Amino acid sequence: MLEELKEQVYKANMELPKRKLITYTWGNVSGIDRETGYFVIKPSGVDYDELKPEDMVVMDLEGNKIEGKYKPSSDTPTHLELYKAFPEIGGVVHTHSPWATSWAQAGRSIPCYGTTHADYFYGDIPCARSLTKDEIEEAYEKNTGLVIIETFKKLNPNYVPGVLCVNHGPFTWGKDAMEAVHNAVVLEEVAKMAYQTESINHHAQHAPDMIKEKHFMRKHGKNAYYGQ
């Protein structure tokens, strides 16, 4: 079932070690088939060297396992909440990539300092609030998803395809699993550059709104003209 999607999600997962976004098995990618409402996700704790497309786990949006011999990634309930809340996304990624995670651990949103950021993220990349003790004890991974959704109450997830979970790390998303990985790679680069920007100049200012507007909209707006 969903063999093509499994292959896509497998390839997207294999990009994480290739792009140096993860150490050991600290990351996961999923992709959804909106027609059936089933999504495919990496199994929990299987080494990347041993991972195969057929090992991907098929889940429904109620959290039932539909197919697969392994347990799904422990972050599955977070992915599930994001798919339910953001109907236009088709893929989700979670990593502990070091630069983005450093901002998450510092509890800071990543300011938009330039066009590399503005090409992909319309404005700052937000850092979500901490979970309460009850939220952690009750359903940690599901509530991680709900806190991300709360962070996006006034933000468009299609314009800001990523978030930092405080004291934890980044989640990104996109139209499919590969685009979500692409956004995870960009987020990591942007996190590194923002840190360096502040190291060079403690008083660095946000890029002007005009730059933010121009760079994001030429790639993603209604009248996008970037690329072929």
Q: Any idea which residue has 């998450």 for tokens?
A: 104
Torsion of CA 167, 94, 154, 89, to 10 degrees: -170
Q: What is the 3-state secondary structure (H, E, C) of 189-208?
A: HHHHHHHHHHHHCCCCCCCC
- Contact status, residue 164 vs residue 128, Cβ threshold 8 Å: yes
CA 49, chain centre distance (Å): 23
Q: Is 226 assigned a catalytic role?
A: yes
From the list 33, 48, 70, 119, the catalytic residue is 119
Which DSSP letter does residue 81 get? Answer: H
Q: How far apart are CA 221 and CA 216, in angstroms?
A: 7
From the list 24, 60, 209, 226, the catalytic residue is 226
Q: Is 33 assigned a catalytic role?
A: no
Sequence letter at residue 121:
F
Any idea which residues carry the catalytic annotation? 119, 226
